[in-house]
Chains A and B, each alone.
Chain A
Amino acid sequence: MIELNHVHKVYRGDWVALNDVSFAIGKGEFAFIVGPSGAGKSTLLRLLYIEERPTNGTVVVVGFDTARIKREEIPLLRRKLGVVFQDVKLLPDRNAYENVAFALEVTGVRRSEVRSRALDALGAVGMRHKWDALPYQLSAGEQQKVALARAIAREPVVLLADEPTGNIDEDGAREIVGLLADINARGTAVVMATHDFSIVEKTSSRVIYLDSGEIRGEERSVGGIGHR
């Protein structure tokens, strides 16, 4: 599903963001990438949805080799991924439903299907009842749920979450991680980057530790995400 081989990412000639990173994530797996700010987590995720290309090494995501992928193929890859961020990136002038529907509309989903799929996705994150709320009318946690609904509306093979709990209180964060677990339970592989060690302390999922652009260790447990 995801495979990184000896990946290096160097900015402006000498600033090393990732140094010889290799790992693989299988179908339906749940993995945390944990590390302090500046460890290279976001860079790593950006390589996965090809916002960036590696300086050296290979990145293969759902069958696309980032070294060989053509510019016009990138949208096809991204349609198989879902991405959420710390700053939810909802469109402020559209309500929750419209934000989710927009992602479907612009990726060629038939208009007759958009409505039911967008509402289903909102339902899956428990936000269907707030379908007509504008982002500013929602709490940070609720906004992140809508962003999650947008990410899963296309039923992605892999969900990438970059610090999705960064702006949210502890209860909200637990809820978001729970939703990610639900999504994972339905077969979507999930990669979540976080600097919050307390989140991973309570899970039994795979954890990859990243610091200064290098993998410092890994914990693997069996049985997907759960609470110890």
Chain B
Amino acid sequence: MNPGAGYALREGLRLLRHNRALSSISVGTIAVSLVFFGVFLIATVHLGGLIDWFREKVEIRVILDERFRADDAPALEERILSLMGVEQATFVSREQALEELRHGLGEDADVIDILDENPLPPSFRVEVFDAYQSPEHMASLGQKLSLFPGVVEVDYGEPWIVRLSRMVRTLIIVDVVLGIIVAASSIFVVSNTIRLAALARRDVIEIMQLVGATDSLVRSPFLVEGSVQGLLGGTIAAAVTALLYHVTISHLGGEPAVRPELFVLLIVFGTVLGLIGSGFSLRKIV
């Protein structure tokens, strides 16, 4: 190892031991901030996943007039298919609809027999290409479909998708804002801890400068101290977040959607914040 790096590491860890109480506050603050950040990131990933799941299920239900004749279906199908973004259009006759309902009810299908006549209208099931599933395009498609002759109602689950998309968008903004707050507060705390450490070791700094140590070597132990604080804070945050996530998933069920890289990201983020914080505090001292 390069003698400078060895010195930086040795003295940095010595500083960390000396300032145990102060360093713990720094580490704790970084850890708590990053846990919040991690939880929000995970929520974003999951909600994003939920939207994708919903989108896969997206289909437009075009309800037709009761008197719509099956003979007219191929002509309407052609018109529907001509619309932009439509992948497939399937005609569902009144009888088919009833059959599907019977299938869906399973053991309770008997209730259908009570009915005098089939109450279900004929309909078209319209599937849309993934790329055209934005709330805006779905709305415009819905409007065009409603103008076709024989169409009574168009149902495309719009409010859900829109609400979810808005939520994800809001969450991403919250993530960014939270990320900035976490970064600023961590940098602030680390820089103050390191500033105090550096002031307490003014004698060492003075001697080093006097005997001809380079500025980078004078700074290095403090940078090590700050980075290690960030590393520890990030690691604790990653562990706590991973544990919380594991517990939540096993209670609520479902597939984990978060990749392990997210936890590594928390550790790296913590370390970088520690490094920046300590660099910040040394500008005026060394």
Contact = CB atoms under 8 A, between A and B. Distances in A.
Interface stretch (B80-88, B111-119, B207-215): B207-215
B208 A106 contact: yes
Interface in B187-230: 203-204, 206-215, 217-218
B254 interface: no
Interface string A94-107: 00000000110111
Given A72-B214, A75-B212, A77-B212, A106 B206 contact: no
A105 B210 contact: no
A10 interface: no
Interface string B1-28: 0011011000000000000000000000
A108 to B, nearest CB: 6
Contacts of B213: 75, 106-107
Nearest to B208: A106
Interface of B: 3-4, 6-7, 203-204, 206-215, 217-218
B203 A91 contact: yes
B7 A72 contact: no
A123 B56 CA distance: 83
Name the 7 nearest CB pairs between A and B, nearest first: A78-B212, A79-B212, A106-B213, A103-B211, A75-B212, A75-B214, A107-B212
Interface in A71-122: 71-72, 74-79, 81, 83, 89, 91-92, 102-103, 105-108, 110-111
A90 B123 CA distance: 91
A193 to B, nearest CB: 16
A53 interface: no
Contacts of B211: 78-79, 103, 106-107, 150, 154
A34 to B, nearest CB: 24
A89 B212 contact: no
A78 B213 CA distance: 9
A52 B17 CA distance: 35
Contacts of B7: 105-106
A108 B2 CA distance: 10
A209 interface: no
Contacts of A79: 211-212
A91 B3 CA distance: 21
A30 interface: no
Interface of A: 49, 71-72, 74-79, 81, 83, 89, 91-92, 102-103, 105-108, 110-111, 150, 154
Contacts of B215: 71-72, 75
A74 B218 CA distance: 13
B111 to A, nearest CB: 86
A92 B18 CA distance: 14
Contacts of B214: 72, 75
A81, A102, A106, A107: most-surrounded residue (chain B CB, <10 A): A106
Given A79-B211, A103-B211, A106-B208, 4 more contacts: A72-B215, A75-B209, A75-B212, A75-B213
A89 B207 contact: yes
Given A78-B210, A106-B213, A89 B3 contact: no
B217 A106 contact: yes
A40 B178 CA distance: 56
A163 to B, nearest CB: 16
Nearest to B206: A89
A70 B193 CA distance: 31
Contacts of A111: 3, 6
A83 B7 CA distance: 23
A108 B203 contact: no
B11 to A, nearest CB: 9
A106 B218 CA distance: 8
A120 to B, nearest CB: 17
B210 A49 contact: yes
Contacts of B4: 108
B286 to A, nearest CB: 11
A91 B204 contact: yes
Contacts of B203: 89, 91-92
Nearest to B214: A75
Contacts of A75: 209, 212-215
Contacts of B218: 106
A77 B209 CA distance: 11
B206 A76 contact: no
B3 A110 contact: yes
Nearest to A76: B212
Contacts of A92: 203
Nearest to B6: A111
B210 A83 contact: yes
Contacts of A78: 209-212
